[in-house]
Chains A and B, each alone.
Chain A
């Protein structure tokens, strides 16, 4: 059904259509509309789930862990300070191999107090064992939320998935999107290590080093196994519903000499920058990174690379730029832009390409 709504609403509708059994949530700007909508669906009966309002994000993830451990589908949403507050539980959920799905409205972390879009919240959860996907439109927010349940719950993966959408820029924009009837697109959840509540057992008790070590490697195996599962899920989604997704999005890359790389809403806006540069005779292309974990490495051989990071790792640099450099051996022009919701337009993005100096870092609006 063709409809019109915000990024938050699209996530909530996709969750409703995926039919989780437990939603545990604590509100935080700018994701609050997601859990408000879900509370409405539970109240009006369109979602038959237990909605657990909790007293903090640490508890919302703990509640999801408890529910998921019994083998049921779970969902929560958070943002910024809420996400970092649940950090311990993020490690717990991935370590316990529980396929929880969560939406994170990317927002900066204070101080100074700021509610604008920034990826530092989710990127600082990089090593928890969660899959991380970044979306760039209301439609993609809906589609990816549906797909996230199938990917997380696949028995080759059994890892939680975080869907990231830029705070306000995507959570609060109103756009056209199409909902689907998922039917059997998401198979029933079948967690192999689910606890039988009538015959309870325990997991995660004292684990000696050599066993713990093996468990860690198994998480990495699940992470690597998620790549073909993502591809197969996206292919089946395209077959059933007609919308195509790939591990990363390419735009006018066929003969590109210089490629702009970014995640989230920059990933759409930069297409306009590419069109502007092409008219000037600069053979530009764009790659929108969709999956940050697992990290998908595009082929950048022989191209100049301009990476826009809406994040920063202090003492290191722009995270996407440096991870790409590590994996591809390229020397990107690393642009740090849009932190705290800083306004960045397609004209600004085009200018990044014109002024690029490979192997250097540029703070937009701060460096001259």
Chain B
């Protein structure tokens, strides 16, 4: 089972991003679950979502304690929350970063999703849309296939710029 923990701020689209990644895995023929963790969050507060992907039906409903991959949609959260908590020794980190942030001891993939969205004017309610470039980047990591990533974006967002954002993030992520 491949387990992902996604850190974001309320209103950034982290919960939707988790659903879309799981949906792409479903299109790849895998079993997948996406679970948001709800508390007293509101806009701007740190929130967490979980994604599980497996070849067999998933029986686990509790939170992910030892993720294989941590996704951070807002790097300022790293000052508030220990995003590396429980990360497997060989676990990897994806950070939406404008300054190439890397964490010690873990392979880190910094990509500037925010600038990609802003350059394409992908803005919703004053916030850059981070879901679609994120899906492109995650496809580069091999968690989901490129084809499924494209299909998820096409089904969910009508605007072609979302596909462009995903492609740019795919290119910018260096393996």
Contact = CB atoms under 8 A, between A and B. Distances in A.
Interface in A169-198: 169-170, 172-176
Contacts of A85: none
Interface in A310-368: 343-346
Interface residues of A, number: 21
A193 to B, nearest CB: 41
Contacts, number: 54
A343 B59 contact: no
B62 A174 contact: no
Contact of A174 (B23, B38, B59, B60): B23
A271 B59 contact: yes
Interface string A2-44: 0010000000000000000000000000100000000000000
B26 A176 contact: yes
A290 interface: no
B26 A4 contact: yes
Nearest to B50: A173
Contacts of A269: 59-62
Contacts of B18: 174
Given A4-B23, A272-B59, A272-B60, A175 B65 contact: no
Nearest to B15: A172
Interface of B: prevailing SS? mixed
B61 A176 contact: no
A225 interface: no
A150 interface: no
A166 B58 CA distance: 16
B33 A175 contact: yes
B23 A268 contact: no
Given A4-B23, A4-B26, A172 B35 contact: yes
A168 interface: yes
A344 B22 CA distance: 23
A265 interface: yes
Given A4-B23, A115-B38, A168-B38, A176 B62 contact: no
Nearest to B20: A174
Contact of A172 (B23, B31, B38, B62): B38
A166 B19 CA distance: 19
Interface in A256-303: 265, 268-269, 271-272
A174 B34 contact: yes
B88 to A, nearest CB: 16
Interface residues of B, number: 19
A213 B62 CA distance: 46
Nearest to B62: A345
Given A115-B38, A168-B38, A174 B33 contact: yes
B35 A173 contact: yes
B32 interface: yes
Nearest to B65: A345
A343 B62 contact: yes
B11 interface: no
A344 B62 contact: yes
A22 B26 CA distance: 34
A272 B18 CA distance: 24
B3 to A, nearest CB: 13
A174 B19 contact: yes
B36 interface: yes
Nearest to A174: B34
Interface in B38-70: 38, 58-63, 65
B65 to A, nearest CB: 7
Given A4-B26, A168-B38, A345-B65, A176 B59 contact: no
A314 to B, nearest CB: 26
Given A269-B59, A346-B60, A346-B62, A176 B19 contact: no
A341 to B, nearest CB: 9
Nearest to A173: B35
A169 B26 CA distance: 19
Contact of B61 (A4, A30, A174, A265): A265
Given A169-B35, A269-B59, A346-B62, 11 more contacts: A4-B32, A173-B33, A174-B23, A174-B32, A175-B32, A176-B26, A176-B31, A268-B60, A269-B60, A269-B62, A346-B60
9 contacts: A4-B22, A166-B61, A168-B36, A170-B61, A172-B36, A174-B19, A174-B33, A175-B32, A344-B62
4 tightest A-B CB contacts, nearest first: A345-B62, A174-B34, A265-B61, A268-B59
